[in-house]
Structure 1
Amino acid sequence: MLREHEIEIRVRYPECDPMGFLHHSRVFIYFEMGRTELLRASGGNYRQWEERGLYVVVVHAECRYYQPARYDDLLRLRTIVKRVTAYKIEHEYLLYRDGDLLCRGNVTLAIVDRSGQVQPVPEEVRKEFEASESKVG
């Protein structure tokens, strides 16, 4: 499992407020794009989890905004897996434009089954994270 991954995102017109600034709520969609592409780059995808009856839900989300983005800006989003526990996956997000940090976010995910009952993070995910953590640390 990759610990971090980056994607480029171009701010589209319908994502902006009437003043041409990226609406604050859209960064959470960007965060979801980042973690989806991190998982895909690691060789997995959420569809595979759903076929196993496991669903990813957000249990905590926050964002600190430093500078605005505008229509047509080309942004770079870095998604980092910060921590994996038996029941949670924590990500950090850094959104840049031309090297300037625009915002920093954190999202904590949990895994539930079809009935909404909390499930352990899949063992292979925990093991891959622990293996990558030992390489880093």
Structure 2
Amino acid sequence: MKIKTPIQVRYQETDQMGVVYHANYLVWFEIGRTAFIEANGLNYHEMEEQGVVSPVIDVHVYFKQPIRYGQDAFVHTWLENYDGLRTTYGYQVTDAEGNIAVSGTSQHVIVKKDNFRPISLRKKFPEWHEVYSNALEEK
């Protein structure tokens, strides 16, 4: 399942050249990841209420062409890989014509908020495990 999320390119996200500043794509990835999670009937906030957070442990970003202020942009998000402990999301940021401007991945684990010890998504959140396992089968 691939989720397409519209992004409004705000002026403050651009640099002096009028292009989106590179670090803002990571924020857009997070917007897409949240949309992916919610579109699958899951809720990250509920996970946090149980004392669990999901830090990024690895990220890759590949820049192909700029997105400029005033352009329509979309972040496409999908589950790239999942093994019960680590989750990797895939992303493509496109313009209105579907041209890929940026692509990338981010890898996450879940940890206890108080001590940052990794825990198994499969064991702690079996509903997430089921959804993610099914999403990989559909890929």
Normalising by structure 2, what TM-score? 0.90
Identity %: 25
Instruction: Give the aligned partner of residue 58 of structure 1.
Output: 56
Instruction: Give the aligned partner of residue 17 of structure 1.
Output: 15
**How far 1:104 sits from its partner (Å)?**
0.7
Stretches of structure 1 that go unaligned for 5 or more consecutive residues are none
Aligned partner of residue 37 in structure 2, secondary structure: helix
Q: Distance in 1 between matches of 2:24 and 2:72?
A: 15
Q: Alpha carbon RMSD of aligned pairs, Å? A: 1.3
Q: Distance in 2 between matches of 1:8 and 1:132?
A: 22
- Alignment length, in residue pairs? 134
Amino acid corresponding to residue 110 of structure 2 in structure 1: I
Pairs within 5 Å for 1:81-100: 81-97=79-95, 98-100=97-99
Is the 1:85–1:126 Cα contact (8 Å) retained in structure 2?
A: no
Instruction: Give the aligned partner of residue 128 of structure 2.
Output: 125
Stretches of structure 2 that go unaligned for 5 or more consecutive residues are none
Is the 2:87–2:109 Cα contact (8 Å) retained in structure 1?
A: yes
Normalising by structure 1, what TM-score? 0.92
Deviations 1:82-117 (A, max 9, x none): 111121110110110021110111100110102211
Amino acid corresponding to residue 109 of structure 2 in structure 1: A
**How far 1:54 sits from its partner (Å)?**
1.1
Instruction: Give the aligned partner of residue 100 of structure 2.
Output: 101
Instruction: Give the aligned partner of residue 72 of structure 2.
Output: 74
